[in-house]
Amino acid sequence: MTEHSPEPKRARETGMGLRALSRATWLCAMLASIMDGAETISFEKDVYPTLAKAGCASCHSSNGVANATRLQFPDEEPNPAEITGIGLSLRPLIDPAAPEKSLLAAKPTQRVPHAGGKRISPGSPEEGRLVAWARHLASLPEEKGARHAAPIRNAPNAALHRLTHTQYDNTVRDLLGDQTNPARQFPAEDYVNGFLTQVQGQSISPLLAEAYAEAAERIARNAVARGGAGIPNCAPGQTTCRDRFVRDFAARAFRRPPTASEVARLSTLFDQGGPALAIEAMLQSASFLYWSEPSLASTHKGYARASRLAYLLWNTAPDAALLTAAASGELDTAVGVEKHARRLLASPRAHHAVDEFIGQWMRFDRVIVLLKERRLFPRFNREVAQAMAEETRRLAAGLVWNNGNFMDFFRAGYSYLNADLAAVYGLPEPKEQFARVAYPAGSNRAGILGQGTFLAATSKPGETSPTSRGLFIRELFLCQHVPPPPPGVNGNLPPVTEAKPMTTRERLKVHLNNEACASCHNLIDPIGLGFEKFDAAGAPREKEKLTIPTFDRKKESQTVELDLLTAGSIAGIPNSNFETPADLGRILAETRQCQMCVVKQYFRYAMGRMETAADRPVLDAVFEDFRKSGFYFQELMISLVRRTEFPDPAAVTGGR
Amino acid sequence: MAAPLARRTFLKGIAFGRATGVALPPLAAMFNGNGTAYAASTKPVESRFVLWFNGNGIPEKYWIPGETGKGFTMTPCLAPLAPFRDDIHVVTGIDNPAARFPGPGNDHHRSMSALMTGTSFTGRGAGGASIDQAIAARIGGESRFRSLELGVSQESFGESVQRNMSWAAYDRPRPPEMLPHKLFERLFGQKELGWINRRKSVLDAVRADAAQLQKALGQSDKLRLDEHMSSVRDVEKAIASLPPQYYKVDPPEYDGDMKDWPRIAKLQSDLLAHAFATQQTRVASYMLTKCQGLTRFPWLGYTAARHHDYTHRDGKAPGADGPDGQRIMRDICRWHVEEFAYLLGRLRSIPEGEGTLLDHTMLAFVHEHAEANDHKNNGLSVILAGHLPKFATGRHTRTTGTIGDLYLTMADEILGTGLGKFPTAQKTMAEIVA
């Protein structure tokens, strides 16, 4: 038997000798499992609580760091039937020949290497329960365990998507020619799941309702004063003129034909206050402010699809051709949906929609307000921060619209720079502002990984943060959620002193040497450490410059230069050792996890929610389309709208 | 006794954005014979509640008074409150237990949700109603605005739980109004009767549209639309009861610096005082800086980093774990207190009934953490202020209760809201009750 490392806290509580305790509990556990036989161990009562307490699900779930392993828990809290199912699904982790050596028990105790660290003490009663369950599973006929299907939850049933603020602005621009971007005055939207489109973040507070009311009044008044936009000048009592306007305008504002009672209400308002009053009401109607998820819309499915296509691919309301296609039933087929999706993508409006996605995914809102310490980064200013966002926008747009392989987002050997940004990066000045320039040999930059949107935005004002850089890659490029540090943990690294100058890598070793921190920091810090030769503003550096803080005002503070190492790796991805961003870019671009993450991010943005287990078939199908196209982003967009609407392959050719 | 003023009498407020020392003319003339209510209103004088939030934590050694009881010494951070010694009660040692419940989020997310609502961060927002909203649900129904949410500094990481302090319910933020002239328009925008009638017909149609749409929706969308329509009803109510016309407030300057936070804070405080004086609301939340806030402090001379950066050692910028950083945090936290003192001053300068607005208001000033650098969430320091009859003032108390205990004691013992319960509240915090 291997040497057991004791669990100090428990020993302190009981006052027993550590070694004696661990032996005793191990024996007890073994005895219990032998004497009870496998019959009486209950997964629900004994084993599941043990796994829950060890926190397995925080990594072993669809968006966890260990989502590629064979141990998987559902994203939501499972019900009793699902817990039973999980128990049976563990069969593949069992070694039938030697159940006590099964991964189920050997991994969390780190008797075999476990990226998540030691979650359960070797020799503890908890381990005993896992071993007992392993014996039980080994004793079952093979098919009973193997046939277990992962519990499938239904996708959330919320159907209403509120227009985002940019969608609102674009919609009133298209509807009424209003160019004032009124939504910029609305209370700001919050990021949820990394995007502004999330249904869960779209409540309408009294403050927002008031802002809608104010904006509607102003937009309507200005539109009537300007004339045009299909607003007639009906003489009083001219009901034909009125009715035609109300019907036509409501059909555009609501993106479907209005009902008789809607027409009646709007006509009354028209009689009371002319077209302005009717427009004011329409711009506050729920039918204007929300569009319906097509798959859940109870009526007008075709019109709902028109809205889905337009708001996703154009970030604005459907045009007349789309509404006509909805009316004619063309959007009731996958063929029709695809045809119109391709038509939309051929328009310049689609470019703005892709910019919007990239801007939210890469959090341009944070990039453009970056602040760097002026004494250390004298060239860095607001304009440079904005140029960083523009650089990223152009990289993505170039790939999307020039038939590029989107995975080059991670490994492109070129970028789009202006003079100021090139100066900050220490690169030659481009001939033309934001022209595409190849990186000089040896720059080690690659795609987004060589850009300030990543390098500077993850850094603090004065120094890099390998932890933040690692976390950014895990969460945004691998779609893996790393559990947050437990509450009350002291996250401070050892200070730099004159006697002991340390690089950030050395200071971060604190995380990696402390078992409680290591299980998570092992997953993130080694990724970020590979970028240490890029400073907090994104410029290359060979040494880490340290100013030893002095609190003695009379003393000059000392500066030390330390050598940097850039060995990095991604735990959980085989052969992922890297030295430079360019190395990592190649690894990411070729990793399924990263490729799938691009699909997932676009899915979240498009559907306004996180994916669930029920979405897996659709995601897999979209991924296949994306991969087969050579990772052409436009095909991802087309595939997503088609497959979320027509998930059954039979429907691809089917009718209504 | 002076003759009652006519409803049409316009009173000049303060000069917004300029010297703020211009006093508001006394409103005594507008009280009725026994001096307890507006001549123009039949409402009795109301009690009010303000929850004031400051992002990040404090430097405890510059903040917490060494002595307890009446004779405590004002620390460097508390110094701006010296003129209000008898109007405040400094309470330290308060626990925020829900910040330690296991769950998603970083220490800031968790503390924020727990501090406002006594519940855990959901991964998106707060897990329940915040204390101001719970109180508003009890006492705000009769007012023009059930509650007001105000903010000042906008610099933040941008997540919902970082940008909002008021929560109507699970994941339902009530965002603060951060632009003084928009707040002014909401509170004091003068409207004609014709406009009011038009707006009402529009909102009637909006609600009828929603009712029709709702029939076809699933349960969760029905609830969302219900919430939306409840917001629309709040807008209607605000229209139906416009501010009294005898009370004139000048709008804030439009061309001032909209990122000059000390200036914005004072404008917001002025408007809040006027909103109380005109009985437009009884409950307000005031978010001076954001949760895990990134405010810059040029007026304090600290431009090398942002608020949150200063709370931790950060490269060359001094962090709060060193003496320089502690001093920076001291100045930042003193500024928080300074702006709070300004609001107290405004409330104390406006007579109401037999006293001032401050006499009829309960205020609570809270920080996201105790010691900033450690993200400490036990031993929080809070300033309570006001002069409601059952509120014990003029002292520093060290306690062991929870933030829920404090809130519920304020709500039920001092404000008499009959709330009955609040997450993490277990016992009355008797020390703050007179």
Q: How would residue A511 be classed by pLDDT, with cut points 50, 70 and 90?
A: confident
pLDDT of residue A261: 95
Q: How would residue B324 be classed by pLDDT, with cut points 50, 70 and 90?
A: confident
Chain B contact set for A205 (CB, 8 A): 168, 172-175, 231
Chain B contact set for A293 (CB, 8 A): none
Nearest-Cα distance to chain A for B192, in Å, is 15
Q: Which backbone phi and psi does B174 adopt, to 5 degrees?
A: -115, 95
Section A602-628 average pLDDT? 94
For chain B, positions 100-119, list CB contacts with chain A under 8 A. 100-102, 104-107, 110
Distance of alpha carbon A545 from the chain centroid: 34
Judged by phi (left if over 0) then psi (alpha if -120 to 50, else beta), residue B323 lies in: alpha
CB contact at 8 A, B180 and B140: no
Section B164-179 average pLDDT? 94
Least confident of A40-54, B69-83, B244-258: B244-258
Check pLDDT > 90 for residue A639: yes
CB contact at 8 A, B163 and B202: no
Average pLDDT, chain A: 86
Nearest-Cα distance to chain A for B174, in Å, is 6
pLDDT in tens, A558-576: 788 899 999 999 988 889 9
The encoded tokens of residue B346 equal 């405004």
Q: How would residue A178 be classed by pLDDT, with cut points 50, 70 and 90?
A: very high
Higher pLDDT, A42 or A321: A321
Task: Please state, as a whole number, how many other Cβ atoms lie within 10 Å of the Cβ of residue A418.
Answer: 19
Q: How would residue A69 be classed by pLDDT, with cut points 50, 70 and 90?
A: confident
Pairing of strands B361-367, B380-386: antiparallel
Of B186, B201, B323, the CB nearest to A551: B323
ipTM value for the complex: 0.82
**Cα Rg, chain A, nearest whole Å:** 29
pTM score of the predicted model = 0.83
Considering chain A, what percentage of its residues have pLDDT values greater than 70?
88
The encoded tokens of residue A69 equal 């392993």
Contact B314 A549 (CB under 8 A): no
Q: How would residue A33 be classed by pLDDT, with cut points 50, 70 and 90?
A: very low
CB contact at 8 A, A43 and A83: yes
pLDDT of residue A103: 87
Check pLDDT > 50 for residue B100: yes
Least confident of A8-22, A161-175, B123-137, B362-376: A8-22
Residue A284 touches partner B, C-beta closer than 8 Å: yes
Higher pLDDT, A158 or A253: A253
CB contact at 8 A, B294 and B157: yes
The encoded tokens of residue B213 equal 């749409």
H or E stretch including A605?
A: helix A592-607
Cα distance between residue A485 and residue A237, in whole Å: 69
Where helices occur in A416-464 by DSSP H, the ranges are 419-425, 452-455
Check pLDDT > 90 for residue A98: no
pLDDT of residue A140: 79
3-class DSSP state of A473? helix
Section A145-162 average pLDDT? 60
Task: Please state, as a whole number, how many other Cβ atoms lie within 10 Å of the Cβ of residue A327.
Answer: 16
User: Which amino acid is present at A307?
Assistant: S
Beta bridge partners of A481: A64
Q: How would residue A65 be classed by pLDDT, with cut points 50, 70 and 90?
A: confident
Cα distance between residue A211 and residue A626, in whole Å: 41
Of B206, B235, B315, the CB nearest to A285: B206
Chain B contact set for A549 (CB, 8 A): 313, 316, 318, 322, 324
Cα distance between residue B362 and residue B75, in whole Å: 23
Least confident of A76-85, A460-469, B20-29, B152-161: B20-29
Where helices occur in A283-348 by DSSP H, the ranges are 286-289, 301-313, 320-328, 334-345
The encoded tokens of residue B336 equal 């928080």
Cα distance between residue A477 and residue A591, in whole Å: 10
Which positions ≥6 away from A28 have C-beta within 8 Å?
Answer: A125, A128
pLDDT of residue A335: 95
Check pLDDT > 80 for residue A491: no
Nearest chain A residue to B296, by CA: A371
Give me the residue spans of the domains in chain B.
28-188+245-432, 191-241
- Any idea which residue has 């405590």 for tokens? B72
Q: What's the burial of B354, exposed, middle or buried (CB within 10 Å: 0-12/13-18/19+)?
A: exposed
pLDDT of residue B318: 56
Of A158, A207, A209, the CB nearest to B177: A207
Which positions ≥6 away from A248 have C-beta within 8 Å?
Answer: A230
Least confident of A115-119, A577-581, B170-174: A115-119
Q: Which backbone phi and psi does A127 adopt, to 5 degrees?
A: -65, -40
Check pLDDT > 90 for residue A553: no
Q: For chain B, give me the number of helices (H) and strands (E)?
A: 11, 11
Q: What's the burial of B58, exposed, middle or buried (CB within 10 Å: 0-12/13-18/19+)?
A: buried
Question: Considering Cα of B107, then B113, then B116, then B118, what sign does the dihedral take?
Answer: negative
Contact B199 A207 (CB under 8 A): no
Nearest-Cα distance to chain A for B117, in Å, is 18
Chain A contact set for B163 (CB, 8 A): 188, 190
The encoded tokens of residue B282 equal 């009884």
Cα distance between residue B58 and residue B201, in whole Å: 50
CB contact at 8 A, B50 and B286: yes
- Using alpha carbons only, give the angle A363, B111, A487 rounded to the nearest 5 degrees: 95
Question: Considering Cα of B267, then B271, then B277, then B282, what sign does the dihedral take?
Answer: negative
Chain A contact set for B172 (CB, 8 A): 203, 205
3-class DSSP state of B355? strand
Section A392-400 average pLDDT? 98
Question: Considering Cα of A90, then A93, then A98, then A100, what sign does the dihedral take?
Answer: negative
CB contact at 8 A, B164 and B125: yes
pLDDT in tens, B326-372: 899 999 999 999 999 999 999 999 999 889 999 999 999 999 999 99
CB contact at 8 A, B52 and B363: yes
Cα distance between residue A510 and residue A508, in whole Å: 5
CA dihedral B99→B100→B103→B108, nearest 10 degrees, is 40
The encoded tokens of residue A2 equal 């291997």
Check pLDDT > 80 for residue B213: yes
Cα distance between residue A302 and residue A255, in whole Å: 10
CB contact at 8 A, A409 and A454: no
Chain B contact set for A369 (CB, 8 A): 155, 294
CB pairs under 8 A between A and B: 212
Nearest-Cα distance to chain A for B171, in Å, is 8
CB contact at 8 A, B50 and B58: no
Least confident of A89-93, B79-83, B427-431: A89-93
For chain B, positions 185-204, list CB contacts with chain A under 8 A. 185-186, 198-199, 201-203
Q: How would residue B315 be classed by pLDDT, with cut points 50, 70 and 90?
A: very low
Q: How would residue A154 be classed by pLDDT, with cut points 50, 70 and 90?
A: low
- Any idea which residue has 């036989």 for tokens? A37
Which positions ≥6 away from A437 have C-beta within 8 Å?
Answer: A414, A415, A416, A417, A422, A427, A428, A430
Decide which of 2.60.40.60, 3.20.20.70, 3.40.720.10, 3.30.2320.50 is the CATH code for B28-188+245-432: 3.40.720.10
Average pLDDT, chain B: 86
Q: How would residue A550 be classed by pLDDT, with cut points 50, 70 and 90?
A: low
Of B185, B203, B228, the CB nearest to A286: B228
Nearest-Cα distance to chain B for A195, in Å, is 10
- Any idea which residue has 């950030």 for tokens? A504
Section A613-630 average pLDDT? 94
Beta bridge partners of B302: B297
pLDDT of residue B2: 38
CB contact at 8 A, B46 and B360: yes
- Using alpha carbons only, give the angle A181, A185, A187 rounded to the nearest 5 degrees: 130
Residue A281 touches partner B, C-beta closer than 8 Å: yes
CB contact at 8 A, B373 and B311: yes
pLDDT of residue B380: 97
DSSP secondary-structure letter at B47?
Answer: P
pLDDT in tens, A202-249: 889 999 999 999 999 999 999 999 988 889 888 888 899 999 999 999
- Cα distances from A617 to residues A54, B247, B364, in angstroms, run 30, 64, 52
Nearest chain A residue to B303, by CA: A373
pLDDT of residue A356: 98
Check pLDDT > 80 for residue A165: yes
Chain A contact set for B107 (CB, 8 A): 485, 487-488
- Spell out the long-range contacts of B418-427 with Cβ–Cβ below 8 A and sequence spacing 24 or more: B418/B138, B419/B134, B419/B135, B419/B138, B422/B118, B422/B131, B422/B134, B423/B98, B423/B117, B423/B118, B423/B119, B423/B128, B424/B97, B424/B98, B424/B114, B424/B118, B425/B118, B426/B402, B427/B401
CB contact at 8 A, B32 and B357: no
Chain A contact set for B173 (CB, 8 A): 190, 203, 205
Nearest-Cα distance to chain B for A487, in Å, is 5
3-class DSSP state of A73? strand
Section B103-110 average pLDDT? 88
Nearest-Cα distance to chain A for B423, in Å, is 19
